[in-house]
Amino acid sequence: MKLIDYFERVYIIHLPERTDRYQALSRELAAIGVDIKGPKVHLPPPPRPSESNGFPSIGVYSNFIRHLGILKECLKDGIERVWILEDDAIFRRQLRQENEQEKLINRLDKDDWGLCYLGHAIEQSALRSYPTGLVPFKEEFLWAHCYCVHARVLPQLVHYFEETLLNPPGHPRGGRLYIDGAFNLFRCLHPDVVCLVSNPNLSSQKGSPSSLANRNWYDRATVFKPLVTAGRSIRDELWRLSS
Protein backbone atom coordinates (compact mmCIF):
# COMPACT_ATOMS: atom_id res chain seq x y z
CA MET A 1 0.00 0.00 0.00
CA LYS A 2 1.26 3.46 -0.90
CA LEU A 3 0.65 6.80 0.77
CA ILE A 4 -1.52 7.92 -2.14
CA ASP A 5 -3.84 4.97 -1.39
CA TYR A 6 -4.21 5.97 2.26
CA PHE A 7 -5.26 9.58 1.71
CA GLU A 8 -8.55 10.54 0.11
CA ARG A 9 -7.09 13.69 -1.41
CA VAL A 10 -3.73 15.30 -2.02
CA TYR A 11 -3.67 19.08 -2.40
CA ILE A 12 -0.80 21.04 -3.87
CA ILE A 13 -0.26 24.74 -3.15
CA HIS A 14 1.05 26.00 -6.48
CA LEU A 15 1.35 29.20 -8.50
CA PRO A 16 0.72 28.43 -12.20
CA GLU A 17 3.55 30.73 -13.26
CA ARG A 18 6.06 28.62 -11.30
CA THR A 19 6.38 25.98 -14.02
CA ASP A 20 9.83 25.11 -12.68
CA ARG A 21 8.33 23.99 -9.40
CA TYR A 22 5.48 22.09 -11.05
CA GLN A 23 7.90 20.08 -13.19
CA ALA A 24 10.22 19.41 -10.26
CA LEU A 25 7.40 18.33 -7.95
CA SER A 26 5.93 16.13 -10.67
CA ARG A 27 9.23 14.21 -10.73
CA GLU A 28 9.44 14.08 -6.93
CA LEU A 29 5.92 12.68 -6.64
CA ALA A 30 6.39 10.18 -9.46
CA ALA A 31 9.40 8.77 -7.59
CA ILE A 32 7.16 7.92 -4.62
CA GLY A 33 4.31 6.56 -6.73
CA VAL A 34 2.09 9.64 -7.06
CA ASP A 35 0.86 10.90 -10.44
CA ILE A 36 0.49 14.68 -10.20
CA LYS A 37 -2.32 14.42 -12.77
CA GLY A 38 -4.06 11.58 -10.92
CA PRO A 39 -7.69 11.78 -9.75
CA LYS A 40 -6.81 12.27 -6.09
CA VAL A 41 -4.46 15.19 -6.70
CA HIS A 42 -5.93 18.69 -6.59
CA LEU A 43 -4.23 21.96 -7.55
CA PRO A 44 -6.72 24.66 -6.53
CA PRO A 45 -6.40 28.02 -8.30
CA PRO A 46 -4.58 30.61 -6.19
CA PRO A 47 -6.44 33.58 -4.74
CA ARG A 48 -5.12 36.93 -5.94
CA PRO A 49 -5.75 39.42 -3.12
CA SER A 50 -5.01 43.05 -3.92
CA GLU A 51 -3.81 43.90 -0.42
CA SER A 52 -2.05 42.23 2.49
CA ASN A 53 -4.95 42.54 4.98
CA GLY A 54 -2.51 43.13 7.83
CA PHE A 55 -0.27 40.17 6.96
CA PRO A 56 3.48 40.69 6.39
CA SER A 57 2.87 40.72 2.61
CA ILE A 58 0.25 39.94 -0.03
CA GLY A 59 2.06 36.65 -0.73
CA VAL A 60 1.90 35.57 2.91
CA TYR A 61 -1.80 36.46 3.06
CA SER A 62 -2.54 34.60 -0.17
CA ASN A 63 -0.66 31.54 1.05
CA PHE A 64 -2.55 31.53 4.35
CA ILE A 65 -6.01 31.73 2.79
CA ARG A 66 -5.07 28.99 0.31
CA HIS A 67 -4.25 26.57 3.11
CA LEU A 68 -7.38 27.64 4.97
CA GLY A 69 -9.50 27.25 1.83
CA ILE A 70 -8.29 23.67 1.39
CA LEU A 71 -9.05 22.80 5.01
CA LYS A 72 -12.53 24.33 4.73
CA GLU A 73 -13.20 22.38 1.53
CA CYS A 74 -12.16 19.12 3.20
CA LEU A 75 -14.38 19.88 6.18
CA LYS A 76 -17.35 20.64 3.91
CA ASP A 77 -16.80 17.51 1.80
CA GLY A 78 -16.35 15.18 4.78
CA ILE A 79 -12.78 14.19 3.85
CA GLU A 80 -11.27 11.98 6.56
CA ARG A 81 -7.57 12.09 5.65
CA VAL A 82 -5.87 14.71 3.49
CA TRP A 83 -2.24 15.29 2.52
CA ILE A 84 -1.25 18.89 1.74
CA LEU A 85 1.94 19.87 -0.09
CA GLU A 86 3.55 23.07 -1.23
CA ASP A 87 5.14 22.92 -4.66
CA ASP A 88 8.73 23.14 -3.38
CA ALA A 89 8.56 19.82 -1.50
CA ILE A 90 11.29 17.24 -2.04
CA PHE A 91 11.42 13.76 -0.50
CA ARG A 92 14.07 11.59 1.08
CA ARG A 93 14.96 8.61 -1.10
CA GLN A 94 13.85 6.07 1.49
CA LEU A 95 10.26 7.19 0.83
CA ARG A 96 10.55 5.71 -2.67
CA GLN A 97 10.37 2.24 -1.13
CA GLU A 98 6.81 0.98 -0.81
CA ASN A 99 7.59 -0.89 2.41
CA GLU A 100 8.68 2.42 3.97
CA GLN A 101 5.37 3.98 2.98
CA GLU A 102 3.53 0.99 4.46
CA LYS A 103 5.32 1.53 7.79
CA LEU A 104 4.01 5.10 7.88
CA ILE A 105 0.48 3.96 7.07
CA ASN A 106 0.56 1.25 9.75
CA ARG A 107 1.67 3.84 12.31
CA LEU A 108 -1.08 6.26 11.31
CA ASP A 109 -3.67 3.48 11.61
CA LYS A 110 -2.60 2.78 15.20
CA ASP A 111 -3.00 6.34 16.51
CA ASP A 112 -5.78 8.89 16.94
CA TRP A 113 -3.61 11.49 15.24
CA GLY A 114 -4.84 14.92 14.25
CA LEU A 115 -1.80 16.38 12.47
CA CYS A 116 1.13 14.57 10.87
CA TYR A 117 4.21 16.28 9.47
CA LEU A 118 6.25 14.32 6.94
CA GLY A 119 8.26 17.52 6.51
CA HIS A 120 9.30 19.93 9.26
CA ALA A 121 12.09 22.19 10.49
CA ILE A 122 12.95 20.23 13.64
CA GLU A 123 16.69 19.82 14.14
CA GLN A 124 17.77 16.18 13.99
CA SER A 125 19.49 16.61 17.35
CA ALA A 126 16.08 17.34 18.92
CA LEU A 127 14.80 13.98 17.64
CA ARG A 128 17.84 11.91 18.58
CA SER A 129 16.20 10.42 21.67
CA TYR A 130 13.06 9.44 19.72
CA PRO A 131 12.55 6.18 17.84
CA THR A 132 12.54 6.30 14.06
CA GLY A 133 9.28 6.57 12.17
CA LEU A 134 6.30 8.76 13.05
CA VAL A 135 6.57 9.97 16.63
CA PRO A 136 4.38 12.19 18.87
CA PHE A 137 6.02 15.60 19.29
CA LYS A 138 4.83 18.44 21.54
CA GLU A 139 7.59 21.02 21.13
CA GLU A 140 7.34 24.08 18.89
CA PHE A 141 8.50 23.89 15.27
CA LEU A 142 7.91 25.54 11.90
CA TRP A 143 7.26 24.62 8.25
CA ALA A 144 3.96 23.60 6.70
CA HIS A 145 5.02 22.42 3.26
CA CYS A 146 4.22 18.70 3.68
CA TYR A 147 1.65 17.75 6.27
CA CYS A 148 -1.45 15.62 6.76
CA VAL A 149 -4.70 16.40 8.56
CA HIS A 150 -7.35 14.06 9.96
CA ALA A 151 -11.05 14.94 10.03
CA ARG A 152 -11.07 14.70 13.82
CA VAL A 153 -9.13 17.98 14.05
CA LEU A 154 -10.54 19.87 11.06
CA PRO A 155 -13.35 21.74 12.89
CA GLN A 156 -10.98 23.08 15.56
CA LEU A 157 -8.30 23.93 13.02
CA VAL A 158 -10.59 25.81 10.64
CA HIS A 159 -12.19 27.71 13.51
CA TYR A 160 -8.81 28.74 14.89
CA PHE A 161 -7.40 29.84 11.54
CA GLU A 162 -10.52 31.93 10.90
CA GLU A 163 -10.04 33.51 14.34
CA THR A 164 -6.48 34.56 13.46
CA LEU A 165 -7.82 36.32 10.36
CA LEU A 166 -9.86 38.57 12.67
CA ASN A 167 -7.22 39.08 15.35
CA PRO A 168 -4.75 41.95 14.90
CA PRO A 169 -1.03 41.21 14.46
CA GLY A 170 0.58 40.50 17.82
CA HIS A 171 -2.60 39.16 19.42
CA PRO A 172 -1.78 36.58 22.15
CA ARG A 173 -3.85 33.96 20.30
CA GLY A 174 -2.25 34.85 16.99
CA GLY A 175 -3.23 37.28 14.28
CA ARG A 176 -2.34 37.58 10.57
CA LEU A 177 0.39 34.91 10.80
CA TYR A 178 2.54 32.98 8.39
CA ILE A 179 0.81 29.63 7.88
CA ASP A 180 3.47 27.62 9.72
CA GLY A 181 3.36 30.08 12.62
CA ALA A 182 -0.42 29.61 12.80
CA PHE A 183 -0.01 25.83 12.91
CA ASN A 184 2.63 26.16 15.62
CA LEU A 185 0.40 28.32 17.80
CA PHE A 186 -2.59 26.03 17.19
CA ARG A 187 -0.57 23.08 18.49
CA CYS A 188 0.45 25.09 21.56
CA LEU A 189 -3.17 26.09 22.26
CA HIS A 190 -4.49 22.56 21.67
CA PRO A 191 -2.04 20.18 23.39
CA ASP A 192 -4.70 17.46 23.28
CA VAL A 193 -4.34 17.20 19.49
CA VAL A 194 -1.98 14.34 18.67
CA CYS A 195 0.78 15.66 16.42
CA LEU A 196 3.11 13.17 14.73
CA VAL A 197 6.37 14.08 13.02
CA SER A 198 8.65 11.94 10.89
CA ASN A 199 12.00 10.91 12.33
CA PRO A 200 14.08 11.42 10.31
CA ASN A 201 12.46 14.24 8.39
CA LEU A 202 11.12 12.80 5.12
CA SER A 203 10.47 16.03 3.22
CA SER A 204 12.44 19.23 2.87
CA GLN A 205 11.99 22.31 0.71
CA LYS A 206 13.63 22.47 -2.68
CA GLY A 207 16.30 25.08 -3.15
CA SER A 208 14.57 27.68 -5.34
CA PRO A 209 13.66 31.37 -5.25
CA SER A 210 10.89 32.08 -2.74
CA SER A 211 7.40 33.00 -3.88
CA LEU A 212 6.71 34.78 -0.57
CA ALA A 213 9.84 36.82 0.10
CA ASN A 214 12.00 39.18 -1.94
CA ARG A 215 14.55 37.40 -4.09
CA ASN A 216 18.21 37.38 -3.11
CA TRP A 217 20.64 39.32 -5.28
CA TYR A 218 22.05 36.10 -6.79
CA ASP A 219 18.55 35.09 -7.92
CA ARG A 220 18.12 38.42 -9.67
CA ALA A 221 21.51 38.32 -11.44
CA THR A 222 21.05 36.29 -14.65
CA VAL A 223 24.76 35.63 -15.00
CA PHE A 224 24.81 33.58 -11.78
CA LYS A 225 21.66 31.56 -12.50
CA PRO A 226 23.36 28.36 -13.87
CA LEU A 227 25.79 28.25 -10.95
CA VAL A 228 23.11 28.91 -8.34
CA THR A 229 20.77 26.32 -9.89
CA ALA A 230 23.53 23.69 -9.96
CA GLY A 231 24.47 24.39 -6.36
CA ARG A 232 20.89 24.04 -5.21
CA SER A 233 20.44 20.80 -7.14
CA ILE A 234 23.53 19.31 -5.48
CA ARG A 235 22.32 20.44 -2.07
CA ASP A 236 18.88 18.88 -2.68
CA GLU A 237 20.31 15.55 -3.84
CA LEU A 238 22.67 15.33 -0.88
CA TRP A 239 19.69 15.87 1.41
CA ARG A 240 17.63 13.16 -0.36
CA LEU A 241 20.47 10.69 0.19
CA SER A 242 21.09 11.59 3.84
CA SER A 243 19.70 9.52 6.68
Sign, Cα dihedral of 157, 162, 168, 169? positive
Amino acid at 20: D
The structural domain count of the chain equals 1
CATH number for the domain spanning 7: value is 3.90.550.10
Q: pLDDT of 201-237, one tens digit each?
A: 999 999 755 555 555 544 445 654 565 555 666 677 7
Q: Coil, strand, or helix at residue 117?
A: strand
- Across all residues in the chain, what is the average pLDDT? 92
pTM of the model: 0.90
Range of the domain at 195: 3-241
For the chain, percent of residues with pLDDT exceeding 90: 84
Q: pLDDT of 139-186, one tens digit each?
A: 999 999 999 999 999 999 999 999 999 999 999 999 999 999 999 999
Q: Coil, strand, or helix at residue 89?
A: strand
pLDDT of the residue at 219: 44
Q: Are strands 115-117 and 146-150 parallel, antiparallel or unpaired?
A: antiparallel
For the chain, percent of residues with pLDDT exceeding 70: 88
